[in-house]
Amino acid sequence: MGKGDGKGKGFGGGKGSRPGSRAASPARSQEDDWNTRPLNEDPNYQRPEVSEEELFKNTQNQFHFENITVDQNMSGTDSEKYVISKRFEEYNLDAVLMGNIKRCGYKFTTPAQQLAIPVLLDSRDLVLAAQTGSGKTVAFLIPMIQGILTQRQLRHGVPLGVVLSPTRELCTQIYDDARKLMANTGLDVCYAYGGTRTTLQAEKILKGCDILVSTPGRLKDFLDKGVVDLSQTKWAVLDECDEMLSRGFKEDMYDIFDRMPPKEERTTGFFSATFAPELRQVAGDFLQAEDSNTRYGYIFARVAPVLIVPHGIVQTIEDVGSHNHKGMMESLCWYIDNAPDALFLVFVKTKVEAITIEGELYQRGYAVAALHGDKSQQAREYALGQFKSRNIKVLVATDVASRGLDICKCDYVVNVGMPQDVDTYIHRIGRTGRCGLEGNAVTLFDGTNMHTVPGILQVFEKNEQTIPDWFAQLADRCANLPPAGKGKGGKAGKGGGGGGFGGGGFGGGGKGKGDGKGKGKGKGKGKGDGKGKGKGKGDGKGKGFGKGKGKGLGKGKAGGRGGYAAY
């Protein structure tokens, strides 16, 4: 990934003027200033159980997939027999389960559900690659619950179904979704994840558990202590497998599956946004293989990325200047001040950013909290509860900490900088406009993650949003940029200078000395398009760090951008 800074002529001419003047920051009263009160950490903390009525009331608004054509692929022996059904009624589900589906407001199946549900209902193993927010949770819960309901004789108080999730937040979301779908069925669902005392979770599991939703670390701990028995497990799901592997849970996954019946005696589902080579290897170990007699092996299904977001979300993008933190904060405060009764969910890339922005907003007088990995589970859930109850108006969150956030009445989502990919963008902005309400998604563009510009432009186009001229022009310039940090490693002692690119223009770097890891330092000169000056630093793992002078295009302040092989 490359960075750059310098004064030049950037795309879009800066923020521009807005109607009206900035209002004063809302004052916090001593009573409402919850940030100043110490949170007494409870060693026996357990997540408060939300009432069933509240769960159904907060059911999110589904995407309107019924009128959208989406590319779907399915492969595997006899895969053609699985018929695409757009309505849940066509699956001949248990009457109580079907009633819960209707109570959730689910009228039409999503493309991911159309592929997954019939396969899993047929007890075939499945690998499904589909983007975040495509309805995967319902896709694997319905067949699991239906299977247990039709084989109640298997119930002996130990988990028949197991769902593994990479994060605590996603774990609680799956648990809540399972509670809704299992209402009035007589089945029990439990969860297990870190950050809370093990005793209370263990007691509930030992009282009887049909479906267990857990993170790998806590489940392995419970298995080692004899709290959980997986010897009767008939259905197993790994959700967000790619994230599971990237977090280093591979060894735990193998240990957990070794405690289950053989793969020939269970139905297993892999759900992931991508299907990398490492994941293919794991799938081969965990899923049923094809033989010449009775087994057909697992089905592989893929749903092409869907660029449609829920109706009612107004998307906006604003150029705040490249690497311009002050301009970023001024823009963020402007939006907050001009919607004094609104709830703002602000996404950042790192916990350092979350802490910094939370602190600056607090100093300016805003009722604000942050969600990030360094917060205890109790503190994270407490902050989220304060936000939902509107005691605080701004919640600053990293992507990891925000997985599974279900906030029905969030008025604004603000991206501080460009998200790392289109899926992340769609996932973030889907946190507003829920429950049939309108929402606003604002992206404060700061010159980072340039490679995502063309994809996010497509999201604007697909959803008929207003596109600023500068953003359309920038998308053309960034059309062939690969993701940052994908360069090849360099030889010891040498490194190429990075190319400077951004609002300040393109500039080629020189050569210099490296450290044996593909990073080097050097200075060089280059030419860009138009007028102005810009500086850039490149870090493409093999392209090195370099400085270059370039000429820019347009008006305003912008920074350099380097490290891309294309330049």
Return d(Cα 401, Cα 93) in angstroms, integer: 35
Q: Give yes or no for residue 216 having a pLDDT over 80.
A: yes
What the block records as the tokens of 302 is 């893929």
What the block records as the tokens of 551 is 């000429």
Greater pLDDT, 401 or 456: 456
395 and 345 in contact (C-beta within 8 Å)? Answer: yes
Tokens 């009887």 sit at which residue? Answer: 208
| Beta pairing partners, 439 | 313
204 and 166 in contact (C-beta within 8 Å)? Answer: no
Q: pLDDT-based confidence at 68, cuts 50/70/90?
A: low
Return d(Cα 397, Cα 347) in angstroms, integer: 5
Residue 271: the pLDDT is 93
Q: pLDDT-based confidence at 436, cuts 50/70/90?
A: low
For the chain, domains (ranges, CATH) are 1-13+484-567 (no CATH), 34-42+308-477 (3.40.50.300), 64-303 (3.40.50.300)
For 294, half-sphere exposure in the C-beta direction (CA atoms, 13 angstrom radius) is 3
Return d(Cα 266, Cα 232) in angstroms, integer: 9
How distant, in Å, are the alpha carbons of 305, 316, 427 from that of 421? 12, 17, 10
Return d(Cα 536, Cα 530) in angstroms, integer: 17
What the block records as the tokens of 98 is 């079907």
Q: pLDDT-based confidence at 315, cuts 50/70/90?
A: very high
Q: pLDDT-based confidence at 406, cuts 50/70/90?
A: low
Q: pLDDT-based confidence at 422, cuts 50/70/90?
A: confident
Mean pLDDT for all residues in the chain: 77
Residue 403: the pLDDT is 60
Comparing CA positions, the residue from 17, 181, 19 lying closest to residue 88 is: 181
Whether pTM > 0.85 for this model: the answer is: no
Return d(Cα 43, Cα 197) in angstroms, integer: 7
Scored b (16 or more CB within 10 A) or e, 140-175 reads bbbbbbbbbbeeeeebeebbbbbbbbbbbbbbbbbb
Query: What does the pLDDT look like over 524-543, one tens digit per residue?
Result: 333 333 333 334 444 434 34
Lowest mean pLDDT among 9-23, 251-265, 356-370, 499-513: 499-513
Residue 291: the pLDDT is 66
Going by C-beta distance under 8 Å and a sequence separation of 6 or more, which residues neighbour residue 437? 61, 312, 408, 409
509 and 539 in contact (C-beta within 8 Å)? Answer: no
In the chain, the percentage of residues whose pLDDT exceeds 70 is: 71
Q: Could you give the angle at which helices 168-181 and 136-150 cross, rounded to 10 degrees? A: 50
Return d(Cα 487, Cα 483) in angstroms, integer: 9
DSSP string spanning 289-306?
A: PB-SSS-B--EEEEEPPP
Mean pLDDT value of segment 175-187: 96
Q: pLDDT-based confidence at 41, cuts 50/70/90?
A: low
411 and 339 in contact (C-beta within 8 Å)? Answer: yes
